[in-house]
């Protein structure tokens, strides 16, 4: 495995500039590349298993930590939806500049939302795999709860005391509502672009996931103009299928999907 190491400079809400190290997974293989995009508040490790399995089949795999992700809560707070979107665009540009012949985007949750937009913007994206991705409006409160959960987990793993945890949460929550709304609106606006999708699509939903994600996957299937759509259900999976007990099955299905494209199946 080769890991790309890149430095991001961000400014937090108190105007303090921070520099942090972000580790991106980059497994070099043949001239067909996969861009793997993780979910909101997560990191590239979410895609490690799938990337490793695809790489074993000879493919190049690039799984970046999206802007503000894969680091501390403060760095997540300092980022924005605009930063995340631009970072995903830069990842595609990187693969294009490296002269890969075909790019497939695999996105889980928010990563799939980004993937839809990337597929509509870049003709070099030849196929798209969407896992548990929302394209319907979700309550702002639910998005903030995701950030609270991530912050708690990070601080607990760092060994912070309960008192330190309480102080941190009191100082940093609630989050600025405009940031949560920006994420919400990015998702909703992406749902309005589904009719532009023409690439082959692989759609995955975990049957233990929330209904909004089931409905979103169905909405993508019904709205896209793709002439090849493969939809799979994973009965024993919840939201993050790439981390669950059916991750091997998911990866095998994605490989089968790519093989079908190569054979020219419709």
CATH, residue 33: 3.40.50.1820
What secondary structure letter does DSSP report for 101?
A: S
Long-range interactions of 148-152: CB distance < 8 A, separation 24+: 148/173, 149/41, 150/41, 150/73, 150/76, 151/73
Query: pLDDT at position 3, please?
Result: 41
For 9-24, write each residue's pLDDT tens digit. 344 443 433 344 448 9
The mean per-residue pLDDT over the stretch 193-221 comes to 98
Distance CA 109, CA 141 (A): 17
Q: State the distance between the two ends of the chain, measured CA to CA, in whole angstroms.
A: 34
**φ and ψ of 85, to 5 deg:** -65, -45
Quickly list H helices, 14-139: 48-56, 73-78, 81-97, 110-121
The DSSP letter of residue 196 is G
Name the nearest CA neighbour of 72 among 187, 153, 186. 153
**45-82 pLDDT, tens digit each:** 999 999 999 999 999 999 999 999 999 999 999 999 99
Interval 218-258: pLDDT, tens? 999 999 999 999 999 999 999 999 999 999 999 999 999 99
- Give the global pTM: 0.92
pLDDT digits (tens, 9 = 90+) for 146-201: 999 999 999 999 999 999 999 999 999 999 999 999 999 999 999 999 999 999 99
CA distance 144 to 180: 7
Burial of 125 per CB tally in 10 Å (0-12, 13-18, 19+): buried
How many domains does the chain divide into? 1
The parent domain of residue 241 ranges over: 2-262
User: What's the confidence (pLDDT) of residue 79?
Assistant: 95
Contact 199, 128 (CB under 8 A): yes
Place of tokens 């940031």: 179
Q: Please name the residue that has the structure tokens 């889980």.
A: 108
CA distance 174 to 101: 45
State mean pLDDT over 257-263: 95
Residue 243 Cα distances to 5, 28, 98, 187, 247, angstroms: 23, 22, 29, 23, 6
Closest CA to 64 of 99, 16, 107: 107
């Amino acid at each position: 495995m080769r890991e790309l190491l890149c430095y991001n400079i961000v400014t937090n809400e108190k105007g303090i500039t921070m520099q942090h190290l972000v580790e991106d997974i980059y497994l070099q293989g043949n001239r067909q590349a996969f861009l793997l995009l993780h979910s909101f508040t997560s990191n590239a490790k979410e895609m490690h298993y799938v990337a490793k399995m695809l790489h074993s089949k000879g493919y190049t795999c690039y799984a970046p930590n999206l802007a503000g992700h894969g680091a501390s809560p403060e760095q997540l707070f300092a980022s924005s939806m605009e930063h995340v979107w631009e970072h995903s665009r830069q990842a595609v540009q990187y693969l294009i500049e490296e002269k890969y012949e075909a790019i497939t985007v695999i996105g889980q949750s928010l990563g799939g939302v980004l993937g839809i937009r990337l597929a509509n913007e870049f003709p070099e994206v030849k196929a798209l795999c969407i896992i548990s991705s929302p394209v319907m409006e979700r309550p702002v409160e639910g998005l903030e709860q995701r950030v609270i959960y991530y912050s708690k987990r990070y601080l607990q793993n760092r060994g912070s005391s309960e008192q330190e945890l309480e102080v941190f949460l009191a100082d940093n929550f609630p989050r600025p509502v405009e940031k949560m709304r920006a994420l919400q609106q990015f998702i909703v606006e992406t749902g309005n672009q589904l009719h532009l999708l023409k690439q082959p699509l692989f759609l995955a939903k975990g049957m233990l996931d929330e209904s909004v994600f089931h409905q979103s996957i169905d909405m993508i299937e019904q709205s896209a103009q793709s002439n090849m759509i493969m939809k799979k259900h994973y009965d024993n999976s919840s939201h993050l299928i790439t981390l669950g007990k059916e991750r091997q099955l998911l990866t095998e299905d994605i490989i089968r999907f790519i093989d079908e494209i190569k054979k020219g199946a419709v």
